[in-house]
Structure 1
């Protein structure tokens, strides 16, 4: 039995299976592809080889330029021709801005010249055989060049090694004999320690401070709620390096010496002398405000600490400081229902921000800008969030001292950001999973926005009656829909004329620039929202939400998220960053458009035919190459509430509702992989301990065979607590039918190694 296969389905999909034959184009799940001919009655559809005879011409519905940003700076993708895989961070040699060195998560160090395109990369180090990536937050995490690299050729790497059962965090030194960054070798151990058996909170940042000492950060060991009790463990008999920032003198001693002014320099307890500061949950990235000649910095250490369920924080770290975890999360008592927690001896963050509406956030950290290309940015801290794909500047009001936050990518260009890097001139760059590097650049005064403010102006609907699609749109549906609080959905794809779809090896569709995906949500027959998901000319995607008016005559573009009562429920309109946080690069951006989801029958209203979607797409020439077989030979996801193997149906449900976050390099916490094609033993979920808290359930597992009540994958689907609910965004009601399929399957499980004939 398969249990899972991933691809993003938060997208624009609706399914009609063979069971819809006599009922027009609705299924018994939450989705409804309108096929009623406009009068609400069923349409009689005849089985046919193809639903459409020709590809419609699309002259109106094409992705326009992004709405102009109102910030003074923006992100611009750079080095798009350089393949850097999944970069965790990048840096330049001290005093040499001619090359970038990129640390890939899989254990490679690549470098490429800044000038002279095509910037051909070279491989300078490969330690893949030493890397344990955990499928979550492990791998090669940090890189720091020695300040005297030109003399000694030293680079220091922080990574996880060992096995999934015996994880080790280590820092090792490698040497470039040529002292130019080529052919690193001759590794030597600096420090290492045994990790907890959890896939998250490994920290892994290493940086040299202005004092010449090497600093390193590590998380609390993983899980949730500080379950291993490392957050405040400096006063025990055997403190650890968990939840700490360490500081060591790498130029003296063997393999290092302890700086004489370290807070515990004279303590005799093992693993205590190295501690510089503590009380962190997962200090993923930190940096020093060192500055440049003539643009000197403060020397302060800035750190981004990933929160639990409610708050992310930015800290200015001082020697000997206690930053509160797990007594506090940000400036707030932890657990959240705790009141009057003692703040004695604790240092609050300089800024913390919430995780709204249950939407996951995970602060990456950043750097203070000391470049010269953007004078108005000097002295401001630029930081990112890896889950939401948002990037902000942080400064402080000179009168009140309160934080001033400005989002610099409010018009899109988001990513699973992994670091903020600084070049030799002090200019800032961001790395993101999925082979992306961005630069922070000045934003010239933008022209007045021409982005359509009304749905009727988009070219994707009939302007005379926006309830009808434009003639160039192609309807489609999915076999396993994402739960959207019971809303009915209509879904369309609009491709630029003469452009075609490429099918990736995993079955996901790679859609051309200019593509627009259109999805309209209705409740009780009344339209609530239409979302447009567009692939812009920069190659990346943006999501835009239009709110329908009560008269149902048009819909208006929303600038940010919004909640609104609709009947007896509350409807959530996602922000633009919400859209790209779920439609992430890890899932291929578009959700639902893949072989397994579209391999099914669909009612084509215009021709009154019931036909297989893949056969139809192929027949009208939408693909750039033959599919490689008839639909019956290709992947096909079952309808979760239909007939057939229970395990396969549960797999399809998890794929549509969970895998867009929970998959390799996804933003979901832990190392779970809920893609449909992933077998149950490889999902890292069955009988696996939770890594983000047990929700107060004794003996909780991610999936506990035979016990839905102890399976967090079930409990989270059932809960109405938005900070713990899954899917995490834009849902407030329980999917009774889908959750029953999931629970029935878990009850039927007797082990974590079912056979193909199993439940």
Structure 2
């Protein structure tokens, strides 16, 4: 039988204290495969020939106490603000916006992407909501960026009952079409009459994304509406700069002087060439914009392509650069004509976030530190920043981080009193911006060294704390060939359970620990913590050259390690992968953990069985009832192994409600036809491949999915924290594509 090497580290437990003499920090048992996972073990391997006990049922007899490696409170927000769940009894389905009727603070209306607007009263503690209007039969929900997208009350709603809705539905030919529709309420805002619909403006959409969709009335009484560029990679038809197209524009309409609307006389093209509805141009995908109620200034968040997210101050006739510029960078190579283009007020890159959500200038009273500041966020990273309310384009304004959340921030909402809510698309809740308390005198700061976290042995920081439990996965994430060791710390008296999609649900206080080694050298340890308030956050510690301790990084970092470049992720980048859509705990899912593992004392046993036996994990059924993710080099068919690779390395973003572009669903549990990848034409560029498909059966060279995996340019996938090609992974996926004679069909 195959011999195993002795474990590099013997975990401290109540029955194995004497085994701590070997090892480096967080080195799990078994031989490393260079990808950060231990080779799967066959049940029953060992015995007299291998020197292992074949009668071992569990890897640990008892649960080790975990007195120290417990997530502390989150680092205090320096700007004096935080979030709290508002109306905790209420939850909505994919909410994208919330608002109140002008002059009427009795109710809050919540727009759900699926086509419903729900309303609830504030006279008592809200526990239920009712349907204001239901357009679910009219909106298109087949694509991630379609659906009901915007809502605006007429300024004179109290007397005319008019409400305007924006949604993407189908046209007569089955294609996509954007609609702005006027409705009326006959009962003072309790419901909206679907039969009162009057079409205001319609526009066919060439793609399923970059629809814009937000609308609001300005201080001048006109209705403003923003279209995205229509989709496609880098605005392929350059619609955003074409004055004869509505795409990539802010529109301004007079909906009172004529039906369906009149043109305000001040619009740039009101009397000359170009579409008369246009107010400003040069946008990629405006996602939420607002007027400062004190100054009238129009602030807009514009989602970037590959590099930068923008915040713009929009003025009449302005051109905000897309698709000549992305932020301040030329889109189509070095050198571009920027004459007449207005730069953004501020921009941020992929280290901070991935999809901006525009906000509001705060004019409330509950958070004095924010008065007069523009508050905005990021859908992917869950981060919230501020800018000075008087910041101007190209004025050098730098976003100030307010706090980080685990929310998928689809919108901010300004109430009639000026207070702000944050709308959580994935979780379905509304969250209120409130003042945070100052730190108590003498309170402990967040640990700046790994040795102070409680997750390392105080006598030797290279060793783990006594309560950490090692684990391994069947299919590891590619991390530039680094060796990785994984541990989990669960607070005493609590346990994990199996949540949706088989991902473990961990109690507050839990810490997942992963250490990276390159050529045997300690490089980085990441702590992913669920803080006492339930919020997940990631922290990166960089090991010093002597390997005696690791220091907390406040931002991302790139440095040379040996002969390769190593990228330390920022906290924003951590949350771009550890999202609500991915259930936060990557790798800690039953299909990944369903394997044998070598525990201290060379005890080989089922991980799931062991975790359940010691009370760290509650299983709803026997271990044999759970799926098992195949190893990349296992005996399973190439399709299964390749799909496991895509699940681990790609599906964190490419899944329903994920951050990946397009409509791919690369989760292992998704059937091949439902993955929307085989035989599908790419929407974000063909990468120079004539007749390219995302997967062309039998032809990796004509498959965009393969080309992106082989690339280290800005078109590469995955886009973060890799600088070395995964040749084994690309060979595996190419082998699957080659083996496909045709695209499989659903049974």
Does 1:97 find its partner at 2:105? Answer: yes
Does 1:288 find its partner at 2:291? Answer: yes
Q: Which has the higher contact order (CA 8 A, sep 6+)?
A: 1
Residue in structure 2 matched with residue 403 of structure 1 by the alignment: 396
Does 1:142 find its partner at 2:150? Answer: yes
* In 2: Cα distance, 1:516 partner to 1:663 partner: 25
Q: Return the match for 1:516 from 511, 514, 520.
A: 511
- Structure 2 gaps, min length 5: 1-27, 41-48
Does 1:500 find its partner at 2:509? Answer: no
- 1:673-715 per-residue CA deviation (whole Å, 9 max, x = no partner) reads 1111111221222232333333344333322222323323222
Residue in structure 2 matched with residue 728 of structure 1 by the alignment: 719
Q: Return the match for 1:313 from 295, 310, 313.
A: 310
* In 2: Cα distance, 1:286 partner to 1:705 partner: 43
* In 2: Cα distance, 1:29 partner to 1:176 partner: 64
Q: Secondary structure of 2:533's match? A: coil
* In 2: Cα distance, 1:449 partner to 1:77 partner: 26
Residue correspondence of structure 1 range 321-470 to structure 2 within 5 A: 321-335=318-332, 337-339=333-335, 341-356=336-351, 361-395=354-388, 402-410=395-403, 412-434=404-426, 435-447=428-440, 449-470=444-465
- 1:400-449 per-residue CA deviation (whole Å, 9 max, x = no partner) reads 98333343335x32432111211111122221222243333334433454
Residue in structure 1 matched with residue 198 of structure 2 by the alignment: 188
- 1:604-643 per-residue CA deviation (whole Å, 9 max, x = no partner) reads 1x2422222222222233344x433442x32111112322
* In 2: Cα distance, 1:566 partner to 1:165 partner: 54
Q: Secondary structure of 1:403's match? A: coil
The CA RMSD measured in Å over matched residues stands at 2.7
Q: Return the match for 1:622 from 616, 620, 625.
A: 616
CA separation of 1:31/1:670 partners in 2, compared to 1, >3 Å: closer, same or farther? Answer: same
* In 1: Cα distance, 2:134 partner to 2:448 partner: 50
CA separation of 1:338/1:584 partners in 2, compared to 1, >3 Å: closer, same or farther? Answer: same
CA separation of 1:746/1:115 partners in 2, compared to 1, >3 Å: closer, same or farther? Answer: farther
Q: Is the Cα–Cα contact under 8 Å of residues 201 and 281 in structure 1 kept in the other structure?
A: yes
Residue correspondence of structure 1 range 684-703 to structure 2 within 5 A: 684-703=676-695
Structure 1 residue 360: Cα displacement: 5.9
Q: Is the Cα–Cα contact under 8 Å of residues 392 and 408 in structure 1 kept in the other structure?
A: yes
Structure 1 residue 519: Cα displacement: 0.9
* In 2: Cα distance, 1:571 partner to 1:398 partner: 36
Does 1:538 find its partner at 2:533? Answer: yes
* In 1: Cα distance, 2:127 partner to 2:179 partner: 31
Does 1:172 find its partner at 2:166? Answer: no
Q: Is the Cα–Cα contact under 8 Å of residues 374 and 389 in structure 2 kept in the other structure?
A: no
Structure 1 residue 662: Cα displacement: 1.0
CA separation of 1:521/1:194 partners in 2, compared to 1, >3 Å: closer, same or farther? Answer: same
Q: Is the Cα–Cα contact under 8 Å of residues 343 and 394 in structure 2 kept in the other structure?
A: no
* In 2: Cα distance, 1:43 partner to 1:490 partner: 24
Residue in structure 2 matched with residue 15 of structure 1 by the alignment: none
CA separation of 1:689/1:285 partners in 2, compared to 1, >3 Å: closer, same or farther? Answer: farther
- 1:46-82 per-residue CA deviation (whole Å, 9 max, x = no partner) reads 4543222222222222111011122243344433432
Q: Return the match for 2:558 from 542, 546, 563.
A: 563
> TM-score when scaled to structure 2?
0.89
Q: Secondary structure of 1:120's match? A: coil
* In 2: Cα distance, 1:577 partner to 1:174 partner: 41
Q: Is the Cα–Cα contact under 8 Å of residues 60 and 472 in structure 1 kept in the other structure?
A: yes
CA separation of 1:456/1:332 partners in 2, compared to 1, >3 Å: closer, same or farther? Answer: closer
> TM-score when scaled to structure 1?
0.88
Residue correspondence of structure 1 range 648-687 to structure 2 within 5 A: 648-687=640-679
* In 2: Cα distance, 1:123 partner to 1:396 partner: 36
Residue correspondence of structure 1 range 59-70 to structure 2 within 5 A: 59-70=67-78
CA separation of 1:114/1:586 partners in 2, compared to 1, >3 Å: closer, same or farther? Answer: farther
Structure 1 residue 125: Cα displacement: 2.5
Q: Secondary structure of 2:718's match? A: coil
How many residue pairs end up in the alignment?
A: 707
Q: Is the Cα–Cα contact under 8 Å of residues 641 and 737 in structure 1 kept in the other structure?
A: no
Residue in structure 1 matched with residue 543 of structure 2 by the alignment: 548
Q: Return the match for 1:152 from 160, 164, 170.
A: 160
* In 2: Cα distance, 1:640 partner to 1:754 partner: 25
Q: Is the Cα–Cα contact under 8 Å of residues 68 and 449 in structure 1 kept in the other structure?
A: no
Q: Return the match for 1:200 from 186, 203, 209.
A: 209
CA separation of 1:593/1:397 partners in 2, compared to 1, >3 Å: closer, same or farther? Answer: same
Residue in structure 2 matched with residue 746 of structure 1 by the alignment: 737
Residue correspondence of structure 1 range 467-478 to structure 2 within 5 A: 467-478=462-473
Q: Is the Cα–Cα contact under 8 Å of residues 360 and 728 in structure 1 kept in the other structure?
A: no
Structure 1 residue 399: Cα displacement: 12
* In 1: Cα distance, 2:231 partner to 2:424 partner: 22
* In 2: Cα distance, 1:175 partner to 1:469 partner: 64
Structure 1 residue 151: Cα displacement: 2.0
Q: Is the Cα–Cα contact under 8 Å of residues 394 and 403 in structure 1 kept in the other structure?
A: no
- Structure 1 gaps, min length 5: 1-22, 36-41, 292-296
Q: Is the Cα–Cα contact under 8 Å of residues 37 and 476 in structure 2 kept in the other structure?
A: no
* In 1: Cα distance, 2:607 partner to 2:631 partner: 15
Residue in structure 2 matched with residue 279 of structure 1 by the alignment: 282
Q: Is the Cα–Cα contact under 8 Å of residues 345 and 391 in structure 2 kept in the other structure?
A: no
CA separation of 1:719/1:100 partners in 2, compared to 1, >3 Å: closer, same or farther? Answer: same
CA separation of 1:438/1:710 partners in 2, compared to 1, >3 Å: closer, same or farther? Answer: farther
Residue in structure 2 matched with residue 19 of structure 1 by the alignment: none
